Amino acid sequence: MAEDATAGANGGGATAGKHAAKAVAAASAGFVLFVLATGQFIMALDSSVMNVSIATVAEDVGTTVTGIQTAITLYTLVMACLMIPGGKIGSIIGRRRAFSIGCVIYAAGSLTTALAPSLLVLIVGWSFLEGIGAALIMPAIVALVAGNFEAKARPKAYGLIAAAAAMAIAVGPLIGGLVTTYASWRYVFVGEVVVIVVLLVFARRVKDAPVEKRPHLDLIGAGLCAIGLALIVLGVLRSSEWGWVVPKEGGTSWLGLSPTIWFILAGGLVLWLFLRWLSRLDRAGKEPLVDPALFRVHQLTGGLVMFFLQFLLQMGIFFIIPLFLSVVLGMTASQTGVRLLPLSAGLLVAAVGVPKRWPKASPRRVCRVGLLLILAGILLLLGGIDLDASAAVVLVPMLLIGLGIGALASQLGAVTVSSVPDEKASEVGGLQNTSSQLGSSIGTALAGSIMIAVLTTSFLTGIQNNPNVPPEVKSQANVELAAGIPFISDADLEQAMKDAGQPEEVTQAALDANRQARIDGLDAALAVLALIAVVALFFTSRVPKIPVAAAAEPAQAQGP
């Protein structure tokens, strides 16, 4: 009896010990996930938090909306160019070390941005330092999840990381609006510094992903990839000044064509050389920057294309709508953030709710529904934005667009990560983030360039057709404004006309032309985004029909 009691006590102790060990492991995993999710939250927050404050930031650093558009585009471009090399560097020096170094660089960039007195300093801090830091942090997050969670727990962990990014995009406009209205946009970046410092302390408890073989960094491949992407995005960014194919009157011309088309063609050629270089290294048995075999994985490439299109649409909309609310309607940053809440709420609900409510839904079908919701929202905006529009016109479209973006976000992360073996997680993380940031940079550049180009044409046409404007003023406007007109409010334009000594009838003519031109520019940009949403529907055929969890069940059933 005593022996039985002792055995029972020992068995109970062992059971209790196992439960305690599991509890500790669960707590540790939860802490690691919190650290990584917070890092992802900050990276995503920076892409959305300042969109509602574009006009305020531009005025504060002495630039225009186009200048801030350049800073936003360069930020995402730097990340797009460096994500793949950033993931490789993490494999060489260790993912946790890459995460920590990235945090230090990112914090330095945030502090520089917070203190920026001019656009140049803002670009150095926000676009370059933060971009470089993010390029080390984001691929490391993907790999650290693989190193800290068992295979069966990773889908949920990746889902929560994606939800953190969705939450950041959801609350970013409101945070930016409130801080800008009641304090200063600079405090947003000060807050980022504080959060990053705390992350650096907590990161010590994150296990590094094991690296059995220390890889080689393909510098030539990294350079070709960065140059090709940069040429394409910079060409799109300057299209409002240069023209797309036919050069603008009095503008730069290369062999009779706009520099924009030459930049895009040159970028495409360099990227082709990049792919050829990868194949050459692979055939020679050397280690390329990216395994060329990854580009032959149908599911992975389909997911990457959808990531690109999702972020192109997302950032294009996030750039256009805040301008309509703040510049056209004259709303404050906090009011603009509140008007974007339906988009934010819809995004968060769909990103978290779709996998929970419909875990076995077809990823292809969810992506198609998401794109149709985005398209419906854009079309409603196209029909509702006019000279007499009020802020209420964005309510339903923002909700539909948010639900659509959230539906895409709920599927694409699992689609790409599950398409290759775990040891390729770092490379997939680099490709996934490159695709996302390239979409973000082109989305912002494309929407902004089309809007400014159409605004310029419409404004000059309105001036030319107005009999109250003297011929000499029309001629001067054609010469001085042909390169592009800034997206400015009526109050700023009226003050500029008064400073120039223009009579009241000329000032009124300019105000009337500006009002109509802004609407024309917004409508043109939205129309292009609607067309892209339609094109994206054709690419959903590359997204798998069967959900990731369901596809993994047969393999698990055949296991030991």
pLDDT band at 348, cuts 50/70/90?
confident
Q: Specify the 3-state DSSP secondary structure of 349.
A: helix
**Average confidence score pLDDT of the chain:** 82
pLDDT at 18: 46
pLDDT tops 50 at residue 47: yes
Would you list the domain boundaries of the chain? 30-217+289-458+518-554, 218-288
Banded pLDDT at 193 (limits 50, 70, 90): very high
Tokens describing residue 186 = 């600079």
The Cα 156–Cα 163 span in angstroms is 10
pLDDT above 70 (res 548): no
The arithmetic mean of pLDDT across residues 494-517, rounded, is: 83
Range with top average pLDDT, 291-305, 467-481, 501-515 = 291-305
Q: What is the pLDDT of residue 556?
A: 41
The model carries a pTM of 0.81
Burial of 422 (0-12, 13-18, 19+ CB in 10 A): middle
User: Residue length, the chain?
Assistant: 560
Q: Per-residue pLDDT averaged across 395-414, rounded?
A: 89
Q: According to CATH, what is the number of the domain 30-217+289-458+518-554?
A: 1.20.1250.20
The SS3 of residue 254 is strand
3-state secondary structure of 257: strand
pLDDT recorded at residue 157: 75
Q: What is the pLDDT of residues 290-313, one digit of tens each?
A: 888 888 888 888 889 999 999 899
Nearest residue to 420 (alpha-carbon basis) of 435, 410, 430: 430
User: What is the rounded CA–CA span in Å between residue 394 and residue 340?
Assistant: 8
pLDDT for residue 431: 85
DSSP state of 225: H
More confident residue, 324 or 430: 324
- The terminus-to-terminus CA distance of the chain in angstroms comes to 39
The tokens of 457 are what? 């044409």
Inter-residue contact 298 to 389 (CB < 8 Å): no
Alpha-carbon torsion (295, 299, 303, 309), positive or negative: positive
The pLDDT, as a whole number, for residue 332 is: 81
pLDDT of 559 reads 40
**Rounded CA separation 177/193 (Å):** 19
Q: How many CB atoms lie within 10 A of CB 89?
A: 25
**Contact predicate 207/147, CB 8 Å:** yes
* pLDDT band at residue 434 under the 50/70/90 scheme: confident
Tokens at 229, concatenated: 């992407």
- The token duo for 502 is 């223009």
